[in-house]
Structure 1
Amino acid sequence: MKNPTLSNYWLSPHSPEWYRQISKNGNAYIYPWQSTIDSPIAENIFDQLVCLHTKDKVALDFGCGEGRFTKKYALYAKQMIGADSSTQFIQTAMKTKPDNTSFIVAHSKHVLPFKRAFFDIAIIRKGPTSIYHHLPLYVKEGGLILGLHPGENEGKELSNWFPKLFPNNQHNIPIQQHLTKIFTKAPFRKFEIHPYHTIEYLHSPLDLIHYRCFGQKKEIYEVVSSDIREITNIFKKHQTVKGLPITYERYITIVHV
């Protein structure tokens, strides 16, 4: 079985090139694999929390992608601004949008085009953690920041079952430790980090391939798909009636400015 990260076509996940590739593949940040997730599902909890706290507020959704969730949250907000570093994502988001919503291109590592103390609340739904450093300037005193972030143990079983396809990364910093370091350095009043651990069941070997190749070029799909027979054999060995069980880990952050 081949290691796709050794290919010249491999894009480092969450790099600018990786996000650009996702925006080319249908112009939407949508997972291409089929799976079932046991409760509690952190995404659902987070969305309920955001809708509750954005009611009649001026809100920022940073790392908004194509704006699918921004538009959902905008139903409750007084004013909503979605921001993303991908021009293609923002162009897609602007095709249809509520009257109280606008979208702009912005990068967390560049100068941000926002007025100081303009927002009541900021939302980071799987967006870059680097934006936390800037938000004390743009979220009002007494305001709120809500974040949802994948954990470092996501799919940890796969490196044991498919060691070449999912080479183990020993350099991952625990996300809770990473976030705590950010929050203690920034001038926040207080913060909470809530971990959610459950199981995701990938439905088929093809879904496993989509899982591994998310955000990659077609050449990577071709490299990985060439091992479909071996992948299928290992998949069947470890699957349950629900599918292949892997760790599903998320962190929800509640930060008070």
Structure 2
Amino acid sequence: MLKTGNKTKSIENINFMVIDANSNLPFPNDYFDVAYTKKGPRDWYHEGNRIVKAGGIILGFYHAGSHGALRELFPGLYSQIPKPEANDILTELNLYGSGLTDIKVELLEEIEYLSTPEDVLIKKCFGQNQKLREIVWQECLQDVEEIFNKYATSKGLKIINYYHLLTAIAS
């Protein structure tokens, strides 16, 4: 993915890299105008503030849970979890004392349609090892198919995903 991104990018000064974000980033102070993380380390913002020019923008994007069909229709597969409030996100991401200003957390909603019963399990098992995926398929697919077929529309099974979009200004 990184190789393709770097080969096909439309803007020359964009580079896709793999970096250990749990240690100091390999960039000088005040190097970037914008920095973005998606599901990055929770304490990344201090380092982000270091590498972004004063007045630059820091963005973070975090999954905040799914709602709708998954949690309501598959309670044994998906447990109910409360959506965190913005202040909880600020604490969780260790933003207090980061030096960032104008910190805002916005809750975004995305409607998604899952096309097949297998998509329900793929979403549940994303990132899990092969053995666990095989067990989940064996034990759950038949029940998931039954529920999916009962509630799916012509577009598929409607679910709503929530995300937190964090924006802040580097100091």
TM range (shorter): 0.7 to 0.9
Q: Does the Cα contact within 8 Å between 2:21 and 2:41 map onto a contact in 1?
A: no
Cα deviations by residue, 1:50-80 (Å, 9 ceiling, x for unpaired): xxxxxxxxxxxxxxxx4766777x63463x4
2:10 to 64, 67, 75: 75
Q: Which has the higher contact order (CA 8 A, sep 6+)?
A: 2
Determine the structure 2 residue equivalent to 1:167. Answer: 79
**SS of match in other structure, 1:75:** coil
Instruction: Decide which of 115, 121, 127 is 1:215's aligned counterpart.
Output: 127
1:193 to 105, 112, 117: 105
2:143 is equivalent to residue 230 of structure 1: yes
- CA drift of 1:187 comes to 1.3
Distance 1:248 1:76, change over 3 A: same
Aligned residues: 167
Percent identity, aligned pairs only? 26
Tell me which amino acid in the other structure corresponds to 2:98.
Answer: A
Please give the secondary structure, in 2, of the residue aligned with 1:185: coil
Selected match of 1:255 from 149, 168, 171: 168
More strand by share: 2
Provide structure 1 residue ranges, at least 5 long, that are not aligned to the other structure: 1-27, 29-65, 83-102
The amino acid that maps onto 2:149 is K
User: What's the RMSD between the two structures over aligned residues?
Assistant: 2.8
- Corresponding residue of 1:127: 40
SS of 1:245 mapped into structure 2: strand
In 2, Cα distance between equivalents of 1:189 and 1:71: 35
Conservation of the 8 A alpha-carbon contact between 1:200 and 1:247: yes
Q: Which amino acid aligns with 2:109?
A: H
Assess, with a 3 A threshold, how the Cα gap between structure 1 residues 132 and 247 changes in structure 2: closer, same or farther. same
Unmatched 5+ residue regions in structure 2? none
Residue 66 of structure 2 aligns to a residue in which SS? coil
